[in-house]
Amino acid sequence: MANTFIGLAGNPNCGKTTLFNELTGSNGYVGNWPGVTVEKKQAVWRADKDVTFVDLPGIYSLSPYTPEEVVSRDYVVNERPDALIDLVDVTNLERNLYLTTQLLEAGRPVVVGLNMCDLLKERGDVVDTAALAERLGCPVQEVSALHNTNVDELVKKAVEAGKRGVPTTGAKCFSPEVETALSKIAEAISGQCDEQLSRWYSIKVFERDAEAIAPLHLSAEQLAAIEPVIKAVEEARDDDSESIITSDRYDWIAQTMEACVKKAPKKLTTSEKIDKIVTNRILGLPIFVVVMVLVYYISISTVGTAATDWVNDNLFGDGFFTNGTSQEQYEADAEDWAANSYGDQIDGFLAAADEAGLDTTDVSDAVAALSEDADDAEAMATVEAFADEAKEADVVATDVPVHDEDGNFLLTETDEKGNNVVVTNVDADGEPVLEAGQQLEVIDSVDSSDFVAAVEGSLEEPDPADYDGFVPSIPDAVSGWLEDAGASDVVTSLVVDGIIGGVGSVLGFIPQMFVLFVLLCFLEDCGYMSRVAFVMDRVFRRFGLSGKSFIPMLISSGCGVPGVLATKTIENEKDRRMTAMLTTMIPCGAKTPIIALVMGVLIGGSDAWWVAPMFYFMGIAAIIISAIMLKKTKPFQGEPAPFVMELPNYHFPTIKSWWLHVWERVSAYIKKAGTIIFAAAVVVWFLSNFGFASWDGGNGAFGFLSGMEGAGDDFMDYSLLAAIGGFLGIIFAPLGADTWQATAASISALIAKENLVSTFGALYGLGEATENSVSMWQGFAGMFTDPQGVLHAGAMCAFVAFNMLDAPCFAAMGTIRRQMDDTKWFWFAIGYQCIFGWCVGLIINQLWELFVLGNFGFWTVVAFVLLAAMLFQLFRPTPKWDKKDDKILSDLTETVA
């Protein structure tokens, strides 16, 4: 049986993609702004695999003024589907019927679906579907795509019409003189087009639509013969032919509305009442700011963080219990064990012995060996022999500082709950930094017998695996499997430290991102975000862009790729290129872990709830500043494109549509983690674990550094990654990120923004640490702490700002390349993003250096020069360009050269 193709056409926001998803089970993006579907998509009907639906872009007419109209018209006229479903927003029937009249003329069977009939009933309006079907000359069916009402009936009518293959003749919506002219034109072009398209091409010839009638290949003589027919009507109506066609369509639509629709008394709908507030000139923007702050606060600082912490603590950290009783018993035993301060007693006694001149190398190795194997009799004998030696030397350790289980120093003072206060502030040497009047909690003294008892006690740490209901973490479980399988150190390190440490540190943020996408998708699907585009049009128009440029930026909050694709709907080429350049400066889902992890850890986690929205609005500010500066240059000068947009009624999205929307974004993140980030984590692991050793025993050989004899904790400093990061570090040094680790992370982030976090995971083992753990804090503190042990907030903010504003991931770069359709424009866009991000980072860091730390140098001067140049470009009057230069300006080669 031949496959039946049915095209889905309609205005933006008529519910077409919702219907497509309902029929096919697809997860197409359902948005409340024009141009969400910028390419036609197709999928088979779930009820009948022989029926294929093609979802066309939302359009207002088949006249090719926009890219999406070209896509739709080419499909309807040239590819000739078996039937068309024209989905109409029945609450805006008059406007939607304009496209309907054009589809009826395209020589295909058409079935009209009156969507949102449930909303129409709420208004109290009534549509006479039988009368409407008679005037249109095709079947008409009331439906609700959102609630799956009468959808099957609509499709069955379309399939039947398609199988019959009898095209709709089209409504007679033109005046007698126009109809007469169209008949004469049809005779003139007879034989040069499919008979079913005769009326379509006759109208296009009458409108003098040169692009539409190009396939007819009409000769100059034929066009000259037809011209008097058109001119006669123009003279009679005193108007041009295209306007005459448009006017007749609207006149016919008005008559149809009067004959077929009975409207209820006019009253404000709920949506209109809400819009009086959220689109208010004064309140609209502050409301948007409050909404976005709440979205990021909930997702980053509360619900999302709690879920992410659980994943990091349990799946990629220490494991978890499924038995509450066993967990309570283990925690009690572990607390008792930790309270004995075994580690502090051991370390304190060894330090005292070292000061007394005893050689502690062998006993330190023995203690380390016992931590790996508690039954190592030889190591225990070494400990006991050393204790005897220390006793003879009268070694006693006094005033040994005590730590908590996370490695924090304990103070003797207590908080209001009676708990010991901890010291997390340490200097570059790891020594505690105390405030006035504070003292560390200490162990009075440790002699040789205490030392042996501490070593023995440290070996008795409760093992959660010995308790019922314990589930080991992924790294621990995989390490055990590899050890049982006899895997080498290289393989174990690659899998656990590289792949799980890198990819796991990214996957750990899925709960946080899930909550963020749930909230953002709700705002989009319920209709609020389309109002935001309307509100932001007022703001953007002041700076040379329209609300159409803000739509891609809203979409980019999930992923930059569809955001860049959405720039297709911008007719003005200069605005489209500028928007494609700037839209990825909005923090996308991939940048969320950078904000949540880096800023949350360094500034204080939940206490820094304002950080995430701050960087979101920093992205908007960067776009506005860039737009102002670029609009004052020749390649981008000109008035912004007009912005016309449908504001759909507010509604609670269907759970299915909402879930598909969220899953689309989350799954894209997971797929990237399983492909690009996986590959990048392996590369980063290789570069950070292989290199040329230079310590004693390494002999300068190339190989697996951590496996070489003599390798210490700092073996990565000899790695290939350290060499590359050190070489390129000169670029990032003025930003305050002068460590090779920061450079390597920023470079890997160009592949995928999540790689910044996964690179830290590979370098610092963050895949096994929580946001609030000391190991996590110390890993980042080392990057942004000055020699005096003070956290350099300027360098930290500069580092994050650069990675927020520079070039996006490879996937988004590829999309920008396709959208630009010009190699030089593409490199101009990438170069601008990187340079702008670097300049912003430099200014932030150098201003902090000057005004907070009191440092002044060469880069401070550079920062002020750049800041002055940006301010000059922002506030100087817009130049008046000669319009005759427009043609020259369209060629990037000439404009840039």
Whether residue 702 sits in one domain with residue 755 = yes
d(CA 8, CA 19): 9
Whether residue 330 sits in one domain with residue 224 = no
Whether residue 257 sits in one domain with residue 143 = no
Bigger pLDDT: 608 vs 683? 683
Residue with tokens 């983690």: 673
Whether residue 443 sits in one domain with residue 555 = no
pLDDT at 672: 67
CB atoms within 10 A of CB 338: 16
pLDDT band at 522 (very low <50, low <70, confident <90, very high): confident
Considering the domain boundaries, does residue 805 fall inside one?
yes
d(CA 841, CA 826): 23
Contact indicator for 145, 151 with CB cutoff of 8 Å: yes
Of 450, 468, 486, the domain-final residue: 468
| Percentage of the chain lying above the pLDDT 70 cut | 82
Average pLDDT of span 338-343: 80
Q: Could you read off the pLDDT of 183-204 as tens digits, one per residue?
A: 998 888 887 888 888 888 888 8
Checking if the pLDDT of 637 tops 70, the result is yes
Considering the domain boundaries, does residue 530 fall inside one?
yes
CATH number of the domain within which 116 lies: 3.40.50.300
Considering the domain boundaries, does residue 493 fall inside one?
no
Q: Could you read off the pLDDT of 87-132 as tens digits, one per residue?
A: 988 888 888 888 999 888 888 899 999 988 877 777 778 888 899 8
Whether residue 567 sits in one domain with residue 429 = no
Of 238, 262, 286, the domain-final residue: 262
Whether residue 518 sits in one domain with residue 438 = no
Whether residue 96 sits in one domain with residue 232 = no
pLDDT band at 831 (very low <50, low <70, confident <90, very high): very high
Whether residue 155 sits in one domain with residue 11 = yes
CB atoms within 10 A of CB 656: 15
Considering the domain boundaries, does residue 643 fall inside one?
no
Q: Domain total for the chain?
A: 4
Of 164, 193, 218, the domain-final residue: 164
Residue 357: strand, helix, or coil: coil
Considering the domain boundaries, does residue 502 fall inside one?
no
Burial of 322 (0-12, 13-18, 19+ CB in 10 A): exposed
CA–CA distances in Å: residue 782 to residues 109, 260, 608, 671, 837: 69, 74, 20, 32, 23
Average pLDDT of span 334-349: 84
Whether residue 604 sits in one domain with residue 684 = yes
Checking if the pLDDT of 484 tops 60, the result is yes
Q: Which helix (H) or strand (E) holds 134?
A: helix 129-136
Whether residue 155 sits in one domain with residue 216 = no
Q: State both tokens at 201.
A: 């091409």
Rounded to the nearest integer, the mean pLDDT of the chain is 80
CATH number of the domain within which 252 lies: 1.10.287.1770
Find the domain containing 184 and state its range. 176-262
Whether residue 198 sits in one domain with residue 139 = no
Whether residue 156 sits in one domain with residue 228 = no
pLDDT at 353: 93
Q: Which among 482-491, 624-633, 645-654, 857-866 has the top mean pLDDT?
A: 857-866
Q: Could you read off the pLDDT of 597-631 as tens digits, one per residue?
A: 555 555 554 455 666 677 778 888 898 888 888 88
Lowest mean pLDDT among 20-34, 130-144, 255-269, 322-336: 20-34
